[in-house]
Amino acid sequence: MTGEATVVKNAGSHFLLSELPQWAPFPAVLRGKVRLERSGATNPVAVGDRVRYALEGTAADELHPAVIKEVLPRSNYVIRRSTNLSRQSHVIAANLDRAVLVVSLYFPEIKLPFLDRLLVTCEVYGVRPVIALNKLDLYRELAPEQVEAFCRIYRGAGYKVVECSALTGEGIDELRSICSDGTSLLSGESGVGKSSVIRALDPSLEPKVGDISLVHLQGRHTTSLYEMYPLSGGGFIIDTPGLRGFGLVDLEKEEISKYFPEMLRVADNCRFVPCTHTHEPGCAVKAALEDGSISAERYNSYLGMLEEDKKFR
């Protein structure tokens, strides 16, 4: 028996598949040939991948899991460099309708270069990003100016920003509506409250091991798992471990500015082509920086990516 399904859980060498939109996960393992063929990343199969599988019998179980025979072409994906100064890469998730990037201004303090690397990666690989500014209940009292400044920077760059609080529920209806169609990746730095946002989106979800009891998946949820969940109001979300680092992959320094939408809007007006937007006279990007239409914070992130690119050469 053969079929096609979507990877809904990645636990290293073992997987759960489901023939979406039907939600009926079953266990699977990866064939060695597929592992070798897709060796460019540390994980040849990611949550969200569409795969062809084969079964020995009529149904998969713990003792007779399906075998993944082929990974079908991806429409898009989110990928990061595995570690600093490493050329290895890791695919976080594939075939996404959007990536919801959960951030907090404080507790933990936001690192704008980290967020900007995530946004550039989404732009490069064709994933539509949505920024979810969580813990709004804290910031409205403690730092209203910083909330306004953050929203001005990223809305000005062209991104959708949803101000929300997993604690009070503010903004959660809007986020739930966004995620109700298709597949959404939820990602962000460790500590930003991503799991709380997931529970707020659907109180029936508690990131945990699913109903299928596999020996290699037993026990309480650990953040090393990548997993998809169905939302009761429609749509699917992919939960990922909290990220502590995010390096760009397969991006030449001459290309980086093309993935800053606010830079792309004015770059054709630069006097010289190509323009690095760093020292050239008649640079439209630097002029936009001077008049405030491009934020200093985003421009500094761009300069950091140019410098980071040198380390990997």
On whether both 85 and 216 belong to a single domain, the answer is yes
Identify the domain boundary among 71, 93, 120. Answer: 71
d(CA 313, CA 300): 21
On whether both 17 and 151 belong to a single domain, the answer is no
Identify the domain boundary among 40, 71, 102. Answer: 71
In a domain, 246, yes or no: no
Mean pLDDT of the 130-142 span: 92
In a domain, 98, yes or no: yes
Q: What share of the chain is helix, strand, coil (3-state, %, to 5)?
A: 30, 25, 45
For 310: left if phi > 0, alpha if psi spans -120 to 50, otherwise beta; the answer is alpha
Q: Which residue, 53, 79, 87, 58, is CA-closest to 68?
A: 53
Output b/e per residue, 141-164; b: 16+ Cβ within 10 A. eeeeeebeebbebbeebebebbbb
Q: How far apart are the first and last CA of the chain?
A: 47
Identify the domain boundary among 208, 239, 270. Answer: 239
* pTM of the model as a whole: 0.87
d(CA 81, CA 160): 25
The amino acid present at 45, given as its one-letter code, is V
DSSP 73: P
Q: How many domains does the chain have?
A: 3
Full residue range of the structural domain in which residue 120 is found: 77-239
68-110 pLDDT, tens digit per residue, is 999 999 999 998 876 554 567 888 999 999 999 999 998 888 9
In a domain, 9, yes or no: yes
The per-residue pLDDT for 312 is 41
Which CATH number is 44's domain given? 2.40.50.140
The pLDDT of residue 230 is above 50: yes
The per-residue pLDDT for 38 is 55
The per-residue pLDDT for 31 is 75
DSSP 223: T
On whether both 168 and 273 belong to a single domain, the answer is no
What would you measure as the largest C-alpha separation in the chain, in angstroms? 69
Which CATH number is 170's domain given? 3.40.50.300
The per-residue pLDDT for 46 is 94
The per-residue pLDDT for 212 is 35
Give the model's confidence band at 133: pLDDT under 50 very low, under 70 low, under 90 confident, else very high: very high
**Cβ neighbour number for residue 207 with a 10 Å cutoff:** 16
191 or 102: which carries more pLDDT confidence? 102
Helix (H), strand (E) counts: the chain: 9, 13
